[in-house]
Each structure stands twice: as structure tokens, then as C-alpha cells.
Amino acid sequence: MFQRILVANRGEIALRVMRACREMGIESVAVFSEADRGAHYLEMADKKICIGPAAASQSYLVPKNIIAAAEIGDAQAIHPGYGFLAENSDFADICRSSNIEFIGPPHEAMAKLGDKVTAREIAVAAKVNVVPGSDGLITNEAQAIEVANRIGYPVLIKATAGGGGKGMRVARNDHSLKSGLSAAAAEAQNAFSNPGVYVEKYVEKPRHIEVQILADNHGNAVHLWERDCSMQRRHQKLVEESPAVNLPASVRQDICKSAVRLVKSAGYTNAGTVEFIVDADNNFYFIEVNARIQVEHPVSEMVTGIDLIRQQIRIASGEELNLKQKNVPCNGSAIEVRINAEDPDNEFCPSPGTITKLCVPGGLGVRFDSHVHAGYKISPYYDSLIGKLIVHRPTREEAIACMQRALREFVIEGVKTTIPLARKILANSDFREGKFDTTYVERTW
């Protein structure tokens, strides 16, 4: 087992990893940029090392600064958290060649699954449902038109190096397909230095269902059931929950088993999330793998009782999974709302500033994962996440009532937050009846 782990991240996820380390008797090395100097959460670490100026491009995103900090701090492993370098296969490879364990998947599996066309091919080989679409990259217009007319409009043009919704274009006829192809390729080249695009049948008003996976280096893999992340706005998740509401047990089993089959066939290890979309008839389709621990991981921790960061560290140290699938329960209902320092009355634009008052809710089944405190300054340099409020109760109805009570109690002053929006969603009858999909927020508000 590692003696010391460098946490190559900041904020709530850095604190989350440090907490797991401390409970495991592992020392932690925190890194911070000039903008995060003096942040209270850094005190949870045994050592803290400055890695550069405020700009992420000169600090949290610079592999050589992270590796240098790991060497100075004498860390045997690095946990990347989410965002920043977490899904950068080059960084994972640099860790390997620096003889520092990367707490995540092998860089080969990360690279393979990070390419969406390759990921689709792996899914097809593993007999996992994919959306009807092109057989590989689109290389010319005529091919695209042939594919679109074979699968039927509307179609979705996607960047193979993309993900998370970036660089997608809907086309509803040959004309918009042609213009969409060149626009998507240009955007993909610009954003990912890879213009490769592919085409899929556009599944209208899908639900976003993702499966949490843990896989060790000895061929064992388990799922920790599914999360429903359909309540989102412009690819920003607002509410996540487990189990998914109104999903037939047989479909849940198929989705979760498909996810395990896929990661095993890809040689994927450590924690990962297999993302699906589900149509109105409960047909599910593989979309992509998120090769990292995700913001919403606590939802799965609550219903299974499994500490995902602890499992990641155990797997990276070469230990066998101490979990059998039949012993991974899905108890009760967990709901998470993300609380961002954003102004809901101004297009949710970031609202950095100093938190002048903070009253955090508590009580049975209430968890708030956050690095902030009264007097904490929300930086304009990084994402606006203040923290995640998670509740866990025996039934979804009780969880909703608990979340509403907790949101009512919650006081954050000094910055605008998304708490009022969260209250609105939790009070919404369609949400409470499970009648929502990924287009609900845009359609309703």
C-alpha cells in the first residue's frame, strides 16, 4: 500500500481524496496554485506544495509541475480527481514512466475509450447496444448522406475526440447534414486537435443513465448500479440520483451488466462510469465511458455503502476487489444537487466572491461534500462548484422530502448560488413523478 499520495486537484474533490487517505493511514500531499494559497482544505494534507500561478494552464494542468511536486513530496501515487488531467492519457503515461502510480485506468484503456469511435467498436464487440450510426469516422459527404438516409433523420454528428456534448450537431436533412459536418469537424479540430467525426441516429428526449464501475488489476469487475443524471442544463448536471426512477428491473440489470462487459473487454481498471442514453421505450444505448471518478460519485456511495475513493486507492496499489457483485446492494434512494456559485437570473454565469455566511443543513441522511467555509473566496479561475448536497433515505419520496428540508435550511450569502433552482426542481411535479429527460430543463425553464 502507498505511504503517500499526491492529490493533483483542488477544492471539494481534493478534500474528498485527502479524507480517504487519512482514514486509510496514508499521508497526502496537496498541491495549490497561487489562487488557492491559504485555502483551509489544504490543512487536511500532510504536505502542501505550490505548483504555479492561478491560471490552471500554468498550474493544475501542467504535468511536469505535478510530477515535480510528487517527487519533492516523495509521493508513490497521484490521484487526479476529475477535470484537469484526470482523463489525459499522456499524463497517465508520464506518471508510469516517472514510476509514480496513476490512480486511474491504464493509459492505453483511457486512450482507447477516450476515442468515441473506438469506444463504439469495443461496445459492439462486447455485444453492448449502440445507437445505429456510421461504421467508423465519416470521411466524405456522400458517405454521411448514405448513412443518414439508411438510419433515418434526425442524426447527430459527434466528434470522435469529443465527449460531454462538446462538438455535437443535430442534422434533420441532407442540407443541414452537409453544413453540420464541416462545422462539427472545424469545432473538433479547434477544441481537440482532431477533426474526426461520426454520425449516430439522434435519440430524441433521452434519459441519461450512467453505471458506476470498479475493476481491479486481476480481472474482477463489479457495477455499483446506475445513476440518473437527466436533470441537466447545457451538459451541466443539476441533480443526480440512484436508483433511476421508473426504470424496469430487467432494463437496470441489462444496462449494468452491459457496462461490466464493456469495461472488462476494454482492459479498463479502477473506477469508471459507463454512460448510456435511454429512450421513451426503455431501449438503452451506450454513449461513452468517463474514465475518472465523477462529481456525482457520492450518490452511488450512499446506496451501496462503498467508499469509491478508498476502492480506487486499493485497486491502484494492486489489491484484489474485496467486493462480489451479489454483495453490492442498492439500498434506498440517494439524491444529489450540485451547488454552484452561479447567478440563475443571469444565464447561470459564474458569481465568484467571498462567502460571508454559511449555514449547512444536517440531520439523518444529509451529506455536504465541500471545501468552503464562511470567509472562503470562490475563485474566478476555476469551475464554480461550491459543493454537493446529498441525501439518502429508504424511499425516493422520503429522499425528496429530506432534500427539500435541507435546501430550505441551507444559507449561503456573499455569492449568488443555484440553491433557488434546486428548490424549484425538487418542488416540480414532473421531477417528483419521474417524468423528465435531458431536454426537460431547457423545455420547461
Catalytic residues: 292
Dist CA 366 CA 196 (whole Å): 44
In the region spanning residues 376 to 415, those forming contacts with ligand MV4, defined by CB under 6 A, are none
Instruction: Build a one-symbol-per-residue string for 228-247: x at contacts with ligand MV4 by CB under 6 A, - elsewhere.
Output: ----x--x------------
- Residues facing residue 212 across a β-bridge: 273
Torsion, Cα of 53, 56, 61, 63 (10° steps): 0
Nearer to ligand MV4, 277 or 399 (CB): 277
Instruction: Build a one-symbol-per-residue string for 146-165: x at contacts with ligand MV4 by CB under 6 A, - elsewhere.
Output: ----------x-------xx
Please report how close the Cβ of residue 229 comes to ligand MV4 at its closest, in angstroms.
Answer: 8
- Residues facing residue 30 across a β-bridge: 7, 48
Instruction: Build a one-symbol-per-residue string for 361-380: x at contacts with ligand MV4 by CB under 6 A, - elsewhere.
Output: --------------------
Supply the DSSP symbol for 321: P
- Residues facing residue 430 across a β-bridge: none
Nearer to ligand MV4, 190 or 331 (CB): 190
Q: Which amino acid is at 16?
A: R
Q: Which amino acid is at 238?
A: L
Residue 348 contacts residue 342 (beta carbons within 8 Å): yes
Please report how close the Cβ of residue 88 comes to ligand MV4 at its closest, in angstroms.
Answer: 18
Q: How many CB atoms lie within 10 A of CB 411?
A: 11
Candidates 243, 438, 440, 441; binder of ligand MV4 (CB under 6 A) is: 438
Please report how close the Cβ of residue 130 comes to ligand MV4 at its closest, in angstroms.
Answer: 9
Please report how close the Cβ of residue 276 comes to ligand MV4 at its closest, in angstroms.
Answer: 10
In the region spanning residues 284 to 313, those forming contacts with ligand MV4, defined by CB under 6 A, are 287
Among the residue ranges 73-81, 194-202, 379-387, 394-402, the one whose residues contact ligand MV4 (CB under 6 A) = 194-202
Please report how close the Cβ of residue 133 comes to ligand MV4 at its closest, in angstroms.
Answer: 7
Instruction: Build a one-symbol-per-residue string for 198-227: x at contacts with ligand MV4 by CB under 6 A, - elsewhere.
Output: --xxxx--x-x-------------------
Dist CA 265 CA 184 (whole Å): 30
Nearer to ligand MV4, 156 or 247 (CB): 156
- In Å, what is the CA distance from 215 to each residue of 105, 266, 271, 369? 9, 11, 7, 25
Dist CA 186 CA 165 (whole Å): 15
Dist CA 419 CA 421 (whole Å): 5
Applying CB under 6 A, the site for ligand MV4 has a residue count of 17
Nearer to ligand MV4, 165 or 380 (CB): 165
Q: How many CB atoms lie within 10 A of CB 76?
A: 17
Please report how close the Cβ of residue 401 comes to ligand MV4 at its closest, in angstroms.
Answer: 27
Supply the DSSP symbol for 238: E
Instruction: Build a one-symbol-per-residue string for 11-30: x at contacts with ligand MV4 by CB under 6 A, - elsewhere.
Output: --------------------
Q: Is 277 in the site for ligand MV4 (CB under 6 A)?
A: yes
Please report how close the Cβ of residue 208 comes to ligand MV4 at its closest, in angstroms.
Answer: 4
In the region spanning residues 66 to 125, those forming contacts with ligand MV4, defined by CB under 6 A, are none
Burial zone of 54 (CB within 10 Å; 0-12 exposed, 13-18 middle, 19+ buried):
middle
Sign of the dihedral through C-alpha 45, 47, 51, 53: positive
Burial zone of 198 (CB within 10 Å; 0-12 exposed, 13-18 middle, 19+ buried):
buried
Positions touching ligand MV4 (CB under 6 A) are 131, 156, 164-165, 168, 200-203, 206, 208, 232, 235, 275, 277, 287, 438
